Structure 1
Amino acid sequence: MKIGLFFGSFNPIHVGHLIIANHLVEHSDLDKVWFVVTPHNPFKKKSTLLDNYQRLEMVYRATKDYDSLSPSDIEFNLPQPNYTINTLAYLEEKFPDYKFSLLMGEDNLKSFHKWKNYKLILEQYHIYTYPRLSEGTVETQFKGHEKIHHIQAPIMELSSTFIRKSIKAGKNVKPMLPEHVWEYLDEMNFYK
């Protein structure tokens, strides 16, 4: 089974995340996408970041109607600060029959060479990128790399930051969120 790992704070998860993840499952050789909720760094003060389990709950609610999309709290119990290479090693040990790949916006390739053990990641794992509206060109050192697959997914100009600011300003963001996520945010009065 091929699993794509979609890392993020998902603060909150929105329809753009679901569209990209579903597109990657439908238009690549991935069987499933796991939304890996990244834990709050205890050393960073970030008042707009909801609790780990509240964000996980939103991802659960957003993905519960999709067989190929799932939430993951795998990083919650790993030592912090955590690095992707450590998460991948842990997953390999825990799920030896699965093949893991990374999902990322193509703009993330610009800083990928700064990741801990990025060469090892590229040797051992495939990376699926989706287009993003970003300034400048994508890092050319990875152009044509056999382990990097560019998937022509829809370009999503939607961000969790924009949604949080809009909620705070009293705007209606309901169309930008999966229905179950909207209900949970509204019920809990998050980001107001």
Structure 2
Amino acid sequence: MPYVEKGMQVGLFGGSFNPPHAGHALVAEIALRRLALDQLWWMVTPGNPLKSTRELAPLKDRLERSEKIATDPRIKVTAFEASYNVRYTADTLELVKARNPGVDFVWVMGADNLAQFHRWQRWRQIASTFPIAVIDRPGATLSFLSSVVAKTFDYARVDEADAPRLARIKAPAWTFIHGPRSPLSSTAIRNGKSSG
């Protein structure tokens, strides 16, 4: 796990990054700026229970590619979940919380993931562990309002103007952050439909 100090605001940006691309870097940069983060952990997962492992590049390759793309020194590329043999996000967040008392974390995710978030293992627990920042992605700007998660936690939505203090708000709390969007997609890149 990357080194942090008490009082820091840290974003947790997890994914398979298969492959990582400039769209991921844009989400990370928006999160750093708009959430007033001291660090952002770019967490390259060993696998994804909702995706086929046949098409997953080796963890080492995804980690190296992520390090080349994530150039901001506040971004810490890590694959610590593999060391702890963690499979589900809910377990990762519990581990992070237990090992880093006094640090304010926020889960960062692209809006394109919100539609299926309710399919994640123990998704309600995830939403109740750390606040969530949903970063705008192409095609997801309006559809996020109809997601199961947005409807379930509509009472916990924080105004986008308050995003810099989101990490310090007790979960459940979430916000949607508008901003520049990249059309890049890992799936499209793997299928040869996109450059980058």
Q: TM-score, normalised by structure 1?
A: 0.75
CA distance in 1, matches of 2:115, 2:64: 31
User: Per the alignment, in what secondary structure is the counterpart of residue 119 of structure 2?
Assistant: coil
Q: Which has the larger radius of gyration?
A: 1
Deviation at 1:41, TM superposition (A): 6.1
Correspondence for 1:157: 183
State the AA in 2 paired with 1:62: I
Q: What pairs with 1:99-118 in structure 2 (closer than 5 Å)?
A: 99-118=104-123
Unaligned runs of 5+ in 1: 177-192
State the AA in 2 paired with 1:101: V
Aligned length: 167
CA distance in 2, matches of 1:72, 1:21: 14
Correspondence for 2:146: 138
Correspondence for 1:30: 37
State the AA in 2 paired with 1:19: L
8 Å Cα contact 2:94/2:129 also seen in 1 = no
CA distance in 1, matches of 2:115, 2:80: 26
8 Å Cα contact 1:34/1:72 also seen in 2 = yes
Deviation at 1:144, TM superposition (A): 4.6
Q: What pairs with 1:53-64 in structure 2 (closer than 5 Å)?
A: 53-63=60-70
- Per-residue deviation, residues 53-93 of structure 1 (Å, max 9, x unmatched): 11111112222x3112121112112336x111110111123
Greater shift after overlay, 13-22 or 86-95?
A: 86-95
Deviation at 1:45, TM superposition (A): 5.7
- Per-residue deviation, residues 88-145 of structure 1 (Å, max 9, x unmatched): 1111233224222111123433333333333333233100001231484532233352
Coordinate RMSD, CA, aligned: 2.5
State the AA in 2 paired with 1:141: T
- Per-residue deviation, residues 4-50 of structure 1 (Å, max 9, x unmatched): 111111111111111111011112232221111111369x8644321
Unaligned runs of 5+ in 2: 1-7, 158-172
8 Å Cα contact 1:106/1:138 also seen in 2 = no
8 Å Cα contact 1:38/1:75 also seen in 2 = yes
